[in-house]
Chains A and B, each alone.
Chain A
Amino acid sequence: MTDPGLLVLVVALPLVAALISLVCSARLQIALALVFQVGTFGVALALIARILVVGRIDAFAHWLYLDSLSAVVMLVAAVVSVLATFYSAGYLRHELQHRVIKTDELRKYFVLFHLFVFAMLLVTIAGNLGLLWTAISATTLASAPLVDFYGSHEPLEAAWKYIVLTVAGSLLALLGLLLLYQSGVASLGNSYDFSIPVLAGAASHLSPTLASTAFLLILVGFGTKAGLAPMHTWLPDAHSQAPSPICAMLSGAELNCAMLGIFRVYTLTAPAAGAATLRTGMLVFGLVSMSVAVVFLISQRNFKRLLAYSSVEQMGLISVGVGLGNPVALIGALLLVVTHGFTKCLMFFATGNLVLRFRSTTIPEIRGVVRAMPWTAVLLIGGALAIAGAPPFGVFISEFSIIAGAFAGHFWVLGALVAALLLLGFIPLVAPFHRMTFSNADTGGEVAQAELSAVTLLPALVLLGAVLVIGVWIPNPLNQLLHHAAAVMTR
């Protein structure tokens, strides 16, 4: 198949899956989802392999466009989506057996799930900036009803806050895109193709004032969606109320899609607006996000909200990495996109097992996990250490690169501040999972029994293995992809 054909196929498969899900029997939903999502994952891998060879694919008059930068986000979205499909199979079967949901609700879940995957992958292949905005907005519209999937008071509150704040952010981002268009009118004429390759070709001739204003609006607008503080307030609510596989997709993949929007506009506006100006904005939002997140990590009693605030911290760190701008920090930030995506997904799968077993997300209510669920305990402790940035996991390498980048660029105070914030967040992230796992507890009755099914463990074990491997030795294709992506951002 041709490269443009692959681009179409990678979004067509989840879209077709959503349409078939709409009409097929509830009992076939899981099998259908597995077939289509594995297929989508295969096509995504084929595209990423092609990008390593050809550098970029530009198709259909720039409407579709994939390069190393978007391939990094595609890799995370594809891996998280396919593993979330497998995990959903085990998770939803358990919910059905315990009559928490009805069989009919599987249809609603999977139709929205496929549309959510479709929207995220469309973000990664959008070449036209209007299409990019539409796709990022579509991720909200597909996932908001999934946040409200359990249909009680709190999920509804979370879904409403999520949609109102992120739609408001999207409107600001669109205003930014319109100003970006206007910034190119002087060099490209009143009517031009509003696409990444065309704007990249004229990047140094854009109006500096309009380009920097556009970037600021897009940083705030897409930053709202990416969970950057102080616009992050929807994130802990949405990520704590959605079903666990959806939390994994929201935190592990969707935040990166919004970040890709910011990265794209950064690369397009930096030559005209001045990279230093834009980097200052990234650094300020990044440091504010990390600081706010650390405060809330310390006082957290709900483990899903704890993970959500960890996402705010990590998105802040990615922003700092891009803000530093040198190759070491940039590669660290891009590696963090991958390692945070994988690790956070792993943690939502592991804590999803706790939710299924203990029916609680409150830290003090859960004890003795190591005896009740030994494999889940391994995942929890391994994942908590990984997400907190302990060696030898991938997040550690990413964070180390960003701090090394700060020192290499002579940002001594900034590097020390980032290291201090990460250290401050370490214990609040690890200690609750240690307590829930190893503290003695009255583990009588059902809780004392064995693990959940293998299908709720295997996806998380795969991810734990992946973040461990990346921490010890970054596979050559991934390393190559990250270097090419960093080159796209510094071009």
Chain B
Amino acid sequence: MALAEAVLATLILIATFGLLIARQVRGAITGYAAQSILLGGLAIAMFAGSRLPHLLALGLLTIGIKGFAIPAVVRFQVRGPTYRRREIAYYVGFPTALLVGAGLSLVGLVAASRLPFHPYLLSEPVLGLAIAVILLGLFTTMARRDAVLQLAGLLAAENGVLLVGLVVSPELGLLIEFALVLDVVIGVAVMGFLIARMHETVASTDTSELSRLRG
């Protein structure tokens, strides 16, 4: 079971890399959905081993809301040309992004190995992978100019935080999940509203169009 969990955690990191280098909004949303479904799957795998009912609820909630509902809402909000558009302008190029991403993953793994961690249901390397997912998600938000991709980066980082929650304490994980679901659902609604306003105001979701405020 430990092997299955380690494999799922590694796949979550790979899905986050997919999101980091996605060239289309469509690809980034799919990357986020895949990451969320894998995270839900990990919680369910942990339930199978521990029989803690919280973990089943958490897994199903994650798959339902983050794996399907949120991607569907974001797809609906950015349907049309934006959804299919291939992004050609970004702050950090893809080869550089991959290199930085690899470096950040290493930082996550090293940082986790230095912390005096008390293993509960998941092992220490999973904590490293979770920190790497957070760093990659935040880096995606900084590296991309498109508002939808920036949103996807934040959502991916938030999944990384939930993974840390699962490592630290499954019971706390449920509390954190409820807080995050609330935050994510409302956050997606507010950010979705602002993205729609961007469409109206600058006819684009490219945040580099929003650069009048300085000093």
Cβ contacts A159-192/B at 8 Å (1 or 0 each): 1110110011011001100110110011000110
Q: How long is the Cα–Cα vector from A168 to B137 in the complex, in angstroms? A: 9
A207 with B154: CB separation less than 8 A: no
The contact of A185 among B118, B194, B201, B202, by CB within 8 Å, is: B118
- Smallest CB separation, A190 vs chain B (Å): 5
Q: How long is the Cα–Cα vector from A241 to B213 in the complex, in angstroms? A: 10
7 A–B contacts, CB within 8 A, in A order? A130-B176, A141-B186, A157-B212, A157-B213, A163-B191, A182-B168, A209-B116
What's the dominant secondary structure at chain A's contact region? helix
What's the dominant secondary structure at chain B's contact region? helix
Q: How long is the Cα–Cα vector from A159 to B187 in the complex, in angstroms? A: 13
Find the A residue at minimum CB distance from B211. A157
Contact A194-B172, Cβ < 8 Å, known A141-B190, A171-B134, A207-B116 = yes
Chain B positions within 8 Å of A141 at CB level:
183, 186-187, 190
Cβ contacts A285-315/B at 8 Å (1 or 0 each): 0000000000010011110010000000000
The contact of A299 among B114, B207, B215, by CB within 8 Å, is: B215
Q: Indicate if A410 sits at the interface (CB-CB under 8 A).
A: no
- Smallest CB separation, B18 vs chain A (Å): 20
The contact of A153 among B161, B194, B202, by CB within 8 Å, is: B202
Q: Indicate if A432 sits at the interface (CB-CB under 8 A).
A: no
Chain B positions within 8 Å of A133 at CB level:
179
Q: How long is the Cα–Cα vector from A241 to B191 in the complex, in angstroms? A: 17
A171 with B157: CB separation less than 8 A: yes
- Smallest CB separation, A249 vs chain B (Å): 17
The contact of B210 among A138, A160, A207, A213, by CB within 8 Å, is: A160
Q: Indicate if B115 sits at the interface (CB-CB under 8 A).
A: yes
The contact of B183 among A137, A178, A194, A209, by CB within 8 Å, is: A137
- Smallest CB separation, A217 vs chain B (Å): 10
Q: Indicate if A451 sits at the interface (CB-CB under 8 A).
A: no
- Smallest CB separation, B145 vs chain A (Å): 12
Quick one: which of B87-105 are within 8 Å of A by CB? none
| Chain A residues within CB distance 8 Å of chain B | 128, 130-131, 133-134, 137-138, 141, 144-145, 148, 151-154, 156-161, 163-164, 167-168, 170-171, 174-175, 178-179, 181-182, 185-186, 190-191, 194, 207, 209-210, 213, 236-237, 240-241, 296, 299-302, 305
The size bracket of the interface on B is: 35 or more
B116 with A159: CB separation less than 8 A: no
Query: Can you add 14 more A-B contacts, CB < 8 Å, to A148-B197, A182-B118, A190-B118?
Result: A130-B172, A138-B186, A144-B194, A148-B194, A153-B201, A156-B194, A157-B211, A163-B190, A171-B154, A178-B161, A178-B164, A179-B168, A185-B168, A191-B169
- Smallest CB separation, B109 vs chain A (Å): 15
Chain A positions within 8 Å of B30 at CB level:
none
Find the A residue at minimum CB distance from B186. A141
Chain B positions within 8 Å of A170 at CB level:
183
Quick one: which of B153-194 are within 8 Å of A by CB? 154, 157-158, 161, 164-165, 168-169, 171-172, 175-176, 179-180, 182-183, 186-187, 190-191, 193-194
Find the B residue at minimum CB distance from A296. B215
The contact of B161 among A175, A209, A300, by CB within 8 Å, is: A175
B154 with A182: CB separation less than 8 A: no
Chain A positions within 8 Å of B210 at CB level:
153, 156-157, 160-161
Chain B positions within 8 Å of A151 at CB level:
197
Q: How long is the Cα–Cα vector from A144 to B191 in the complex, in angstroms? A: 9
Contact A160-B134, Cβ < 8 Å, known A141-B186, A168-B154, A171-B161 = no
Chain B positions within 8 Å of A138 at CB level:
183, 186
B172 with A171: CB separation less than 8 A: no
- Smallest CB separation, B7 vs chain A (Å): 23
Q: Indicate if B60 sits at the interface (CB-CB under 8 A).
A: no
Residue among B141, B157, B180, B197 with the highest chain A CB neighbour number at 10 A: B197
Chain B positions within 8 Å of A148 at CB level:
194, 197
Contact A130-B197, Cβ < 8 Å, known A171-B138, A182-B118, A305-B215 = no
A134 with B179: CB separation less than 8 A: yes
Chain A positions within 8 Å of B171 at CB level:
190-191
Chain A positions within 8 Å of B118 at CB level:
182, 185-186, 190
Q: How long is the Cα–Cα vector from A137 to B158 in the complex, in angstroms? A: 13
B186 with A130: CB separation less than 8 A: no
Q: How long is the Cα–Cα vector from A210 to B197 in the complex, in angstroms? A: 42
Q: Indicate if B63 sits at the interface (CB-CB under 8 A).
A: no
Residue among A144, A151, A152, A167 with the highest chain B CB neighbour number at 10 A: A167
